[in-house]
Amino acid sequence: MSITTLSVPLADDFHTHLRQGALMRAVTPLLKTSGVATAYVMPNLKPPVTTTEQALAYKAELEALAPNVNFLMTLYLTPELTPEEIRKAAKAGVAGVKSYPRGVTTNSDSGIESYTAYYEVFRAMEEVDMVLNLHGEIPSDAEEGVCVMNAEERFLKHLEQLHRDFPNLRIVLEHATTKAAVDMVKSLGATVGCSITVHHLSLIVDDWAGQCHHFCKPVAKYPHDREALRAIVKEGHPRFFLGTDSAPHPRHTKESSTAVAGVFTTPLVLPYLATILESFGALDKLQTFACENGRAFYKLPTRASTAPVATLFKQEYVVPKEYTYTDDEGHERSVVPFLAGKKLAWTLKA
């Protein structure tokens, strides 16, 4: 028996970067071919999204570009964020607050250095049941032996501590890349979830060694780490769910002496995912992982039985080499998608 057609509800991507300006206008409409109907949007713009007003204005821009998508908005955790703003944001439907350790990824210069200064904000979030999204890496520090390969593992004690101090605060460890992270999240309570990207189910360290389009933060790790990510998806563990961390960058900022971090998966989320899950025998977990687990953790309403579905056909699809657009300065640019020019085993018909 072989499966040749699959229907699942349009999926939920609980971590995506849709950018701003021309790049936002180029990438957001590509959600149409992704098989995704819920996009949980990161706030690391320039300047970062730190107020309810900014979040709502940003949401309106995105809705104009992709009217059928449910955009869930987030605020960027900074010292200026107050409990009052949290309560206001919650009322306005802002779903979460994103914490970036300072300097570890794109536009994270406003990131945090220690969590204790934010405990009042976290208390307010716990009260209003808003989600805390953690970029789970500590900054590299050669003196302390911290580098991109162990920055996530060394962060985990902070996750553990936060969960102990705020057991009712829903916390998501974003884009897990290590067995250590999977084990830690499993060991914690029902309020701790974990997003996993498409690309981290596919890549290991070798794949970004010299390959700038596979370079992202956190970096892909060892084979046994990828194996742990695959195993937890295969197991169907309810607290692990899809968050693509799709992060578009213009080609010239990747193919340069100093590449920016990010893998761009937005246009083909479900075709990528079906292809990769099938490769390790977990195609039967596509719906659980991409359409159910995250929804339950985020307490989104149950889908109506008439909700639109994504239909996937077992039919080769060649990933476009690039998506072109004109940037804010009028230059012709392009964004290179994950696995550009490679064949996927599954094709989406929405």
Closest to a second copy by CB, 38 or 202:
202
Catalytic (active site) residue 15 = yes
Annotated catalytic residue within 59, 135, 199, 285: 135
Kindly give the residue spans of alpha helices, DSSP state H, lying in 236-268: 251-254
How far is 319 from 339, CA to CA, in rounded Å? 7
Closest to a second copy by CB, 7 or 324:
324
Closest to a second copy by CB, 143 or 332:
143
Catalytic (active site) residue 175 = yes
Catalytic (active site) residue 252 = no
How far is 109 from 103, CA to CA, in rounded Å? 5
CA distances (Å), 230 to each of 179, 195, 277, in order? 10, 12, 8
Q: Cβ of residue 336: shortest distance to a second copy, in angstroms? A: 7
Are residues 50 and 76 in contact, defined by beta-carbon separation less than 8 angstroms?
yes
Catalytic (active site) residue 237 = no
Spell out, one character per residue from 90 to 129, where the chain touches a second copy: x when CB under 8 A holds, - when not: ----------------------------------------
Q: Does 222 bind a second copy (CB under 8 A)?
A: yes
Peptide bond into 47 cis (omega under 30): yes
Closest to a second copy by CB, 36 or 219:
219
How many residues lie near a second copy (CB under 8 A)?
Answer: 35
Q: Does 142 bind a second copy (CB under 8 A)?
A: yes
Q: Cβ of residue 262: shortest distance to a second copy, in angstroms? A: 10
Using DSSP, state whether 55 is helix, strand or coil.
helix
Q: How many CB atoms lie within 10 A of CB 315?
A: 14
Catalytic (active site) residue 331 = no
Q: Does 205 bind a second copy (CB under 8 A)?
A: yes
What is the distance of C-alpha 325 from the center of its chain? 23
How far is 67 from 168, CA to CA, in rounded Å? 34
Q: Does 148 bind a second copy (CB under 8 A)?
A: yes
Strand order in the sheet with 309-318: 5-9, 309-318, 343-349
Q: Does 306 bind a second copy (CB under 8 A)?
A: no
Q: Does 204 bind a second copy (CB under 8 A)?
A: yes
Both structure tokens of 325: 């657009």
CA distances (Å), 154 to each of 48, 125, 136, 223, in order? 26, 25, 9, 19
Q: Cβ of residue 255: shortest distance to a second copy, in angstroms? A: 6
Angle of CA points 56, 58, 62, to nearest 5°:
115
Annotated catalytic residue within 59, 98, 200, 217: 98
| Residues within window 260-289 making contact with a second copy, judged by CB under 8 A | 260-261
Catalytic (active site) residue 214 = no
Q: Does 335 bind a second copy (CB under 8 A)?
A: no
Q: How many CB atoms lie within 10 A of CB 97?
A: 26
Closest to a second copy by CB, 227 or 278:
227
How far is 5 from 7, CA to CA, in rounded Å? 7
- Interface with a second copy (CB under 8 A): 140, 142-150, 204-206, 208-213, 215, 219, 222-224, 226, 254-261, 336, 340
Residues with active-site annotation: 15, 17, 98, 135, 175, 245
